[in-house]
């Protein structure tokens, strides 16, 4: 099968959606001739025209507000916010309007809106262009939140999001854009709310999101040379969350490490920890749930400092090794009667 980069897969999905459904149109800053901040819409204005690939002024609130209104009339807007940090400016439209209109209108209106936005650190873009705020949106009833880590998932989930009649926010990690994977030709969908076992293992489960999926897989490969079998689970969507697949994996390995790039405090790893702790699987764990996440600092601009602010492959590897070989607290938790 052919291989595409993550960015090429996103571009192809947008191309296919525009070609197959005249209700689909794109909006965002510099997405026309320039092709978007990272090139995800390159060549699409030339192919479909400026009416359907609309470059907009720098006003995230206006962009998303316009898209909410358009979606209520039956259109299918796909918005690109140049950096996910800027979603904070569009929060009123997303949180107070898009997420609630279906409920408040008693189902008379739907909001089939997709917001794509690059997030995360690793490019030296500084504190206002490198955050991981996906958990803010995952907290809001009425919004679906997707975080694909591979090119295959990025294309399939984008098609699924455009087909959905609810507002969907897609966080695309910038460091994933150049990564290649096998991607089928033509339209296909990856179900929203279905996790993926990226690597099967027996000794410990690592649940990771975004670029941390890639780093967890690298750590698992290194540990395999030492005879350690790591299972890597990628939720792919934060909400709806595939709790069943995650709990089945943890039940099998009886140890779990949760890895996120976001600041650990109040992160999605905290939510995952609660999901496991509130399940019967908790009583089968051989040691406490462990988390690994970003430091409680704004992301530095200097790359040497930036790399210290978020988990690296070596840290994931070291954490797993510590849990498996140096933890003297290993015991099965007794379920109260």
Distance of CA 313 to the CA centre of its chain: 19
Whole-number Å distance between alpha carbons of 224 and 65? 49
Backbone angles phi, psi at 108, to 5 degrees: -70, -30
Residues 57-84 as b/e (b if ≥16 CB within 10 A, e otherwise) read eeebeebbbbbbebbbeebbbbbbbbbb
Please report the pLDDT score of residue 326 as a whole number: 78
Nearest to 181 by CA among 212, 153, 219: 153
Nearest to 183 by CA among 151, 215, 225, 216: 151
Q: Give 21's strand partners.
A: none
Strand, coil or helix: 55: strand
Q: Is 159 a catalytic residue?
A: no
Among 3.60.15.10, 3.40.50.970, 3.90.1170.50, 3.40.50.2300, what is the CATH number of 2-183?
Answer: 3.40.50.970
Task: Delimit the domains of the chain by residue range.
Answer: 2-183, 196-327
Nearest to 204 by CA among 316, 293, 333: 316
Out of 129, 139, 159, 173, which one is annotated catalytic?
A: 129
Long-range pairs, 330-335, Cβ under 8 A, ≥24: 330/286, 330/287, 331/286, 331/287, 332/283, 332/284, 332/285, 332/286, 333/282, 333/283, 333/284, 333/285, 334/283, 335/280, 335/283
Residues 216-241 as b/e (b if ≥16 CB within 10 A, e otherwise) read bbbbbebbeeeebebbbbbbbbbbeb
> Per the structure block, which two tokens stand in for 277?
């702790």
Whole-number Å distance between alpha carbons of 313 and 333? 30
Instruction: Name the DSSP letter for residue 303.
Output: H
Q: What is the DSSP string of 93-141?
A: IIIIIITTHHHHTTTS-----EEEEEE-SSSS--TTS----HHHHHTST
H or E element: which one contains 32? none
Topology classification of domain 196-327: Rossmann fold (3.40.50)
Q: Would you write out the chain's pLDDT as a tens digit for each of its 337 residues?
A: 899 999 999 999 999 999 999 999 999 999 999 999 999 999 999 999 999 999 999 999 999 999 999 999 999 999 999 999 999 999 999 999 999 999 999 999 999 999 999 999 999 999 999 999 999 999 999 999 999 999 999 999 999 999 999 999 999 999 999 999 999 999 999 999 999 999 999 999 999 999 999 999 999 999 999 999 999 999 999 999 999 999 999 999 999 999 999 999 999 999 999 999 999 999 999 999 999 999 999 999 999 999 999 999 999 999 999 999 976 555 555 555 5
């Amino acid at each position: 099968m052919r291989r595409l980069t993550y960015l090429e897969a996103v571009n192809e999905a947008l191309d296919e959606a525009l070609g197959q459904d005249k209700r689909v149109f794109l909006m965002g800053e510099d997405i026309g001739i320039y092709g978007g901040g990272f090139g995800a819409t390159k060549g699409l204005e030339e192919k479909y025209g400026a009416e359907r690939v609309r470059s907009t002024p720098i006003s995230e609130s206006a962009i998303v507000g316009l898209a909410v209104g358009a979606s209520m009339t039956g259109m299918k807007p796909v918005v690109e916010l140049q950096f996910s940090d800027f979603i904070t400016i569009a929060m009123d439209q997303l949180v107070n309007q898009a997420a609630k209109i279906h409920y408040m209108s008693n189902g008379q209106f739907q909001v089939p809106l997709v917001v794509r936005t690059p997030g995360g650190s690793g490019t030296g873009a500084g504190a206002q262009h490198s955050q991981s705020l996906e958990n803010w949106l995952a907290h809001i009833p009425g919004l679906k939140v997707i975080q694909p880590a591979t090119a295959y998932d990025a294309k399939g989930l984008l098609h699924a999001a455009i087909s959905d009649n609810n507002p969907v926010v897609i966080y695309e990690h910038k460091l994933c854009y150049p990564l290649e994977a096998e991607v089928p030709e033509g339209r296909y969908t990856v179900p929203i709310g279905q996790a993926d076992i990226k690597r099967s293992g027996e000794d410990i489960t690592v649940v990771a999101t975004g670029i941390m999926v890639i780093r967890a897989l690298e750590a698992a490969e290194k540990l395999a040379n030492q005879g350690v079998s790591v299972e890597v689970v990628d939720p792919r969507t934060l909400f709806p969350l595939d709790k069943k697949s995650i709990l089945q994996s943890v039940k099998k390995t009886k140890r779990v490490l949760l890895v996120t790039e976001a600041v650990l405090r109040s992160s999605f790893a905290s939510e995952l920890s609660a999901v496991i702790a509130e399940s019967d699987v908790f009583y089968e764990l051989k040691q406490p749930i462990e988390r690994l996440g970003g430091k409680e600092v704004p992301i530095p601009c200097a790359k040497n400092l930036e790399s210290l602010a978020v988990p690296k492959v070596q840290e994931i590897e070291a954490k797993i090794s510590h849990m498996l070989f140096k933890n003297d607290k290993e015991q099965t938790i007794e379920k109260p009667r």
